């Protein structure tokens, strides 16, 4: 087992919407501005928050999820980051102890001290009671410190600081200011690349946090990894010589770095393109990840060159792997919440409609050719697809979700955002296409 040391903090909160992303981004930008190399991770299968962390830190941000990725992959990511970073920050999910694979579970697994972001509006000494409760609820996690969010004044901040019990560090505050609030929409925060002046916002948040306390790097944590474990990929170069076009823009942005890395490790050549502006590049196969096609419906349906090139690609029996929003783009129509209907590629027979309420959420898995492929769903649309599913992905958690997996010619489509590294052979077969009909799927 190889070991490396690196300062690290796990940023958590009593609940969602406490300001974790803002504080993590501010801390990452603060230390980056001090000349430090910061690596940021996000707990759970989140696509949106990591983009803020990437812009704040200037480094790629990866997900960490014990249920979807497994301990070995999480351990490898942390070990590799620790080898050349000056600081590792991990943003938690929901509240500190919420869920079957909670933030506290992940922090305890890797012995990383936690820092809680506590919203302090309309609160004084109770702030200290919340901090005390978070620190003592479980013995296997360490609450290093707290950050106060939505603070009314300097005097308010002093009251909060004085309430903190001994043994818990005060790590500053951010003021109650609408200018610091990040805009959101139905799938989470508005995407980082859509926010004007984001760099200026990050610098402001970093300065405010840094001015509120004496910022010092946290203690170093030992990260271990065994390079020759059973999770080492054993099917290299299955996609050697294969060119894969990857949709990547504001409409199709929900992509795991790990998925692209796996395709490249399998030997594929990737070509990123924008369905909003481009035609489909010359390629052997197509990857359509999720995103917000419903917000860009007019632009997409007016890209007639793209539609024609995708239709020709499918007619030529070339493979397509489509996830969630990527699947919606392949349907005949998509109707948004304003009741406007967009005509899309029409290579999957069916229609979809956006809804006001969440229609599917959770970590799911499906058995394909004796491999267990895992992924995640989170969508606000319903669809009527005129095909019989070839498989059903089943929830591994408490939400009880299930999602159909469709095959139509060389197209594989589902609401599930797949985590490719969970079943590399299956994924390779999908992008090769020739073995699709031979899959034993259950």
The pLDDT tens digits of the residues spanning 43-93 come to: 999 998 999 999 999 999 999 999 999 999 999 999 999 999 999 999 999
H/E stretch holding 189 reads: strand 188-189
- Looking at the chain, the domain(s) classified CATH 3.40.50.300 span 2-225
In whole angstroms, what is the distance from residue 330 CA to residue 408 CA?
11
Taking all residues of the chain, what is their mean pLDDT, rounded to a whole number? 93
pLDDT exceeds 80 at position 139: yes
pLDDT exceeds 50 at position 229: no
The percent of residues above 90 in pLDDT, for the chain, comes to 86
Q: Which of 302, 381, 312, 391 is nearest to 344 (CA)?
A: 302
pLDDT exceeds 50 at position 438: no
**Which tens digits make up the pLDDT trace of 230-265?**
444 455 789 999 999 999 999 999 999 999 999 999
Say whether domain 243-438 belongs to CATH 3.40.50.880.
yes
DSSP 201: H
In whole angstroms, what is the distance from residue 302 CA to residue 319 CA?
24
Q: What's the CATH code, domain 2-225?
A: 3.40.50.300
| Cβ atoms within 10 Å of 398's Cβ, excluding its own | 9
Q: Which of 25, 44, 32 is nearest to 85 (CA)?
A: 32
- Looking at the chain, the domain(s) classified CATH 3.40.50.880 span 243-438
Residues serving a catalytic function are 324
- Cβ-contact 377, 359 below 8 angstroms: no
| Cβ atoms within 10 Å of 95's Cβ, excluding its own | 18
The structure's pTM equals 0.92
Residue linked to tokens 């933030």:
103
- What's the whole-number mean pLDDT along residues 287-310? 97
- Cβ-contact 390, 426 below 8 angstroms: no
pLDDT value of residue 173: 97
């Amino acid at each position: 087992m190889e070991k490396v040391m690196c300062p690290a903090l796990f940023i958590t909160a009593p609940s969602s919407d406490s300001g974790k992303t803002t504080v993590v981004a501010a801390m990452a930008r603060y230390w980056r501005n001090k000349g430090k190399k910061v690596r940021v991770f996000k707990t759970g299968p989140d696509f949106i928050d990591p983009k803020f962390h990437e812009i704040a830190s200037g480094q790629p941000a990866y997900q960490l999820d014990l249920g979807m990725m497994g301990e070995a992959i999480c351990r490898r990511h942390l070990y590799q980051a620790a080898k050349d970073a000056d600081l590792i920050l991990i943003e938690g999910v929901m509240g500190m102890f919420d869920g079957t694979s909670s933030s506290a579970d992940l922090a305890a697994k890797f012995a990383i001290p936690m820092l809680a972001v506590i919203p302090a509006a309309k609160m004084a000494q109770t702030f200290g009671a919340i901090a005390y409760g978070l620190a003592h609820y479980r013995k296997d996690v360490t609450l290093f410190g707290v950050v106060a969010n939505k603070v009314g004044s300097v005097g308010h901040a002093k009251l909060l600081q004085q309430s903190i019990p001994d043994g818990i560090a005060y790590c500053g505050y951010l003021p109650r200011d609408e200018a610091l609030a990040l805009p959101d929409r139905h799938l989470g925060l508005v995407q980082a690349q859509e926010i004007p002046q984001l760099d200026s916002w990050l610098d402001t948040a970093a300065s405010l946090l840094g001015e509120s306390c004496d910022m010092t790097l946290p203690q170093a944590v030992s990260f271990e990894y065994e390079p020759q474990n059973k999770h080492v990929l054993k099917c290299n170069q299955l996609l050697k010589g294969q060119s894969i076009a990857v949709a990547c823009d504001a409409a199709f942005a929900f992509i795991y770095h790990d998925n692209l890395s796996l395709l490249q490790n399998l030997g594929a050549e990737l070509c990123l393109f924008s369905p909003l502006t481009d035609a489909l590049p010359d390629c052997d196969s197509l990857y359509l990840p999720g995103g917000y096609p419903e917000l860009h419906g007019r632009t997409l349906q007016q890209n007639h060159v793209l539609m024609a090139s995708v239709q020709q690609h499918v007619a030529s029996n070339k493979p397509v792997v489509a996830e969630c929003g990527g699947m919606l783009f392949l349907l005949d129509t998509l109707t948004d919440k304003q009741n406007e209907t967009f005509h899309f590629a029409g290579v999957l027979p069916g229609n979809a409609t956006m809804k006001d309420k969440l229609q599917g959420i959770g970590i799911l898995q499906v058995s394909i050719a004796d491999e267990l492929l895992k992924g995640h769903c989170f969508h606000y649309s319903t669809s009527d697809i005129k095909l019989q599913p070839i498989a059903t992905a089943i929830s591994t958690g408490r939400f009880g979700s299930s999602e159909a997996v469709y095959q139509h010619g060389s197209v594989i489509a589902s609401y599930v955002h797949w985590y490719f590294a969970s079943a590399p052979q299956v994924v390779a077969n999908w992008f090769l296409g020739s073995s699709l009909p031979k899959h034993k799927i259950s």
